[in-house]
Amino acid sequence: MAPRLQLEKVAWRWVETVRPEEIGQEHVELAYRVNLPACMMGACRRNCKGNPNCLVGIGEQAWLGDIDENAFHNIDDPNSERRDKNTFVGLTNLGATCYVNTFLQVWFHNLELRRTHFLREHRNITLNYEPESICEHLQYLFALLQNSNRKYIDPSGLVKALGLDTRQQQDAQEFSKLFLSLLEVTLSKQKNPNMQNVIQRQFCGQFSYVTVCNHCGRSSARPSRFYELELNIQGHKNLTECVTEFLKEEKLDGDNRYYCENCLSKQSATRRIKLHSLPPTLNLQLMRFVFDRQTGHKKKLNTFICFPEQLDMGSFVEEKQGQQCVYELSAVLIHRGISAYSGHYIAHVKDACTGDWYKFNDEEIEKMEGKKLQLGIEEDIAEPVKSPTRKPKCNKGYHCSRNAYMLVYKIQEEQNLDPSKNNIKLPAFLQKLVDQDNHKFEEWCNEMADMRQQSVNKGKAKHEEVKKLYKLLPTKDGELYEFIPLEWLKKWLDDSTATKEIDNTLLLCSHGKLHPDKVGDSKRVSLQAAQQLYERYGGGPRLNSSLCSKCVSQRCRVLRLKKQLNDDYKEVFNLLKRNFSGDGYWVSKASLRSWRQLAFEQLKEDEQETKHSNGLNKGREEEMKAFNEDIVCTHGGLSIMETERKLVSSEVWKKLREYFPKAPEFSGNQQPCQECLTLEQEEKDNEAVSKMMALHQKNQLLNLFHEKNRPTLTKWPQDTDVLYIVPVFFVEEWRKFIRRPTKSSPVSNVGNTLLLCPHGGFMFTYESLISGDAKQIALLWPSEWEVINRLFIVDQAISIHCLKDTKSPGITTQYTTQPDLCWECRESFLFQQQRDLREYTQATVYIHGGFMVFFTNCKSIFQSQDGAKRLKLCDGTAAPASPVSVTNLAKKGGIRRSTRHRKLRGEKALIVSANQTLKELKIQIMHAFSVAPFDQNLSIDGKGLTDDSATLGSLGIVPESVICLKADEPITDYAAMDDVYDGIKISCGSYICFNYWKK
């Protein structure tokens, strides 16, 4: 079929030979294209919108022939989320919680920890029971992981109770320490003694820091506990080397000498760690995430480390006393990725009951073949360049990994325990909770199955309806027909959208019939098919016998006029090229350029509905209200702007008048408007006066205009004892007038009352002007003040005087203002200013990050007279270094206006409010600098910010403040690490924070 535009052109070709009054039914049918042949199936790749009889390519292909039932619904089989027999349950990833899921799976497979946790005391179970505490959430989660019918469960309850941000990935090793510490503290309060020390029994070992003095040989031992051994992997190839370095002897000499209590002085010494006892579950943290001193952030080490399936720790333990030291590998925790702040966590865990290995990847769980650990693709790292290091060959019984960050070993004796102990039975109250959740899951499965079946039944019914009605749609010659909207037919055949009633209102012309321009948006169907569609879906108005002869006649007239217009346009175009004699007529150049478009617009108004729209032409139509009106002045005469009009011949004007009979007419000898000429001359005279005035004022105040030889307060001029003050706004506006006297208005008065309070007192002190308020004023010499008084209206004279006392010993200088300072108004203003600064919202502060402390910004602090540094507030007011009264503040300091902050390298701007806490600010800093809150040392003006619960306003952080961020370096002294362990602090707010970095 021909393209739509070509079909439309053919449909109206007859108007060239047929006048409107000669139109018959055959012409109307040609305009509506009712006699075009229908397209055959497969002949059109897409539907022909220009042919109302083309009914192919509108979506019918999906319904013809046999259809699979699965095509009638988009609901997955709910049984795909059912747990398979003899498999484990996965955990949903809530965004960035894969590190949580890996540890939960590892702890769940610790049978002793799971069994003991099920014995925890519980509250009364009600129908709407919801866990509250973290231990209750863990207990319920373990119960679901054991007996749930679901393939995976949602850990959001536990994650929310911990206060973790699901959008931000936290340090996995840090999370492990914090969570076990939290469990230890919570379970220690239980009445059951088996529960009180389950964490210690499973994970706690004993070692001591032994220091030997090289001078006297005195040995001192400091016993300590550990829950995991943190092993340095940098420079090592296997696990044995890492453990050996952990226990190696360290020399203490030089500045790091040891204070010997026996020698009573600092002496060179040696220090090492002695392992005394190992726990049943030995956690080995491989320190892959280390601090980079150059960037101030953590980085990941992609070092290959070999580790055995069977680990003998006997050679590392002193005074074994018969304890078992042979361990079996039970879990490997993997971090995939090249960054310490992103990536994905996966756990490989060995089933304690069967000895099979499983890979736990959030919701997905994969069983390894042959009861062997297979790391496989977990060792692939998407690096920007290919790594130069190759994976080393591993002997039998060993594994090699560049992504493992934690190894879990269990004592070998645990495999020889009674198999019946591996069967952990849920307490009745937990089984009841699990049964309730399983019941909800089964109800959901049944509901989804019913919805699937309903969709299938509905689709089958729709299939039969479409197959039946689609065959009735084509219209045969001589039969009655109706028009149906094309978009409605497409939606009817599109099963993804609900079929609404038929709406023909958009297809109607002003006579209530089908508009000729809407033929392409409709389809001609048989009366029988239309009747059934309206009976089933309703709607209207129905378009039977809907061909509008009036619209066709109107369109015929317009098209003929358009053809005539095109001929006239060519004629006018040729006439304009010719030279003519006589007076002629004035025509607007803009109207002359667009007269054909203006004539077209008039034809469209006659047509009552435009067929095409053009944004550019519409803009011209709005710009030009009517032809030739833009050369009519406001007084109704000929405009004085000769460049905007053109003189045309009488023949051209006669043609234009045929289309615009009401257009303003101006003959060639018409004189421009005299009133406009008079006003133009007056404007030129005023500009000349302004230029003379500006030149005179500039010559009188030349130094003020060029800002040369200006007096300053910091270096008071010796040849005068008085300076005068005007607002800087006055000087700026005056300079604008001098530079462009014809474009700017002249300045008539000074306006010094802007610098005075309602009582007529001055609002600034000499000290405050020096500190920054001088930016609001301009200083004048006495000679300049005399000129100002002559040239401008001065509402109030303001001056500052320098009085020197030579009688007393030493020359003292005192500065006064006239009018005097109004202390009452100034104190009130400063008090309000201070209060506003403590109540700001959406203000900017600057964080300067780096490993080394850097904090000094000349635009953020200034030195007061007593040498104390004070912060600049948002308007420049200095906050006192110590609490003072408002009166003292007004006398000592002053109002210092804010200046634009110059951003430094490594600095970032944050938007904060006065009522938010320091902890919330640390979270913002974490997102901006990728430094965890517990690694942040913040200070302002040399003062540390440590109270996380305090608001920024109470800490003295005001708009435009610069805060120093120092990222901590890792601890290398394990004795110091033990001190930190003794001071564990658990916070269940927005983050669980435990700082193990050196302070």
Q: Catalytic amino acids?
A: 98, 344
Phi first, then psi, for residue 852 (nearest 5°) are: -90, 145
* Interatomic CA distance for residues 782 and 731, integer angstroms: 16
Report which DSSP code applies to 55.
-
Q: Which residues face 358 on adjacent strands?
A: 349, 367
Q: What is the largest CA-CA distance in the chain?
A: 130
Query: With contact defined as beta carbons under 8 Å apart, do 519 and 479 qualify?
Result: no
Distance CA 378, CA 98 (A): 15
Burial string for 237-263 (b: 16+ CB within 10 Å, else e) reads ebbbbbbeebeeeeebeeeebbebeee
Q: Does residue 810 come out as left (phi exceeding 0), alpha (psi in the -120 to 50 range) or beta?
A: left
CA distance linking residue 579 with residue 614, whole number of Å: 34
**Which residue is associated with the tokens 């996995």?**
172
* Measured distance CA(617)–CA(596) in Å, rounded: 11
Which two three-digit tokens encode residue 263? Answer: 């020698």
Q: 604-612 long-range contacts, Cβ below 8 Å, gap at least 24? A: 604/558, 606/554, 606/557, 606/558, 607/554, 607/555, 607/558, 608/510, 608/554, 609/509, 609/510, 609/515, 609/517, 611/517
Spell out where 675-721 has E strands. none
Cross-strand pairs, 331: 349, 408
DSSP secondary structure, 597-630, as one string: HHHHHHHHHHHSS-S---HHHHHHHHH-SSTTGG
> What residues are paired with 958 via a beta bridge?
none
Angle between helix axes 428-470 and 134-147 (nearest 10 degrees) is 60
HSE at residue 436, side-chain half, CA atoms within 13 A, is: 14
Polymer length in residues for the chain: 999
Question: In terms of DSSP bridges, do strands 936-940 and 962-967 run parallel, antiparallel, or are they unpaired?
Answer: antiparallel
Determine the Cα–Cα distance for residues 911 and 845; give it in Å rounded to an integer: 7
Distance CA 449, CA 79 (A): 9
- Reply yes or no: is the peptide bond before residue 279 cis, omega within 30 of 0: no
SS (H, E, C) 7-27: HHHHHCHHHHCCCHHHCCHHH
Beta-carbon contacts of residue 946 (< 8 Å; ≥ 6 apart): none
3-class DSSP state for residue 549? helix
CA nearest 546: which of 980, 32, 65?
32
CA atoms within 13 A on the CB side of 221: 9
Rounded distance between C-alpha atoms, residue 379 and residue 402, angstroms: 6
**561 is written with which tokens?**
């006029």
* Cα distance between residue 13 and residue 556, in whole Å: 10
Q: Which residues contact 62 (CB under 8 A, 6 or more apart)?
A: 71, 493, 495
Tokens found for residue 628:
């030739």
- Contact (CB, 8 A) for 383 and 374: no
Whole-angstrom distance, CA of residue 457 vs CA of residue 95: 37
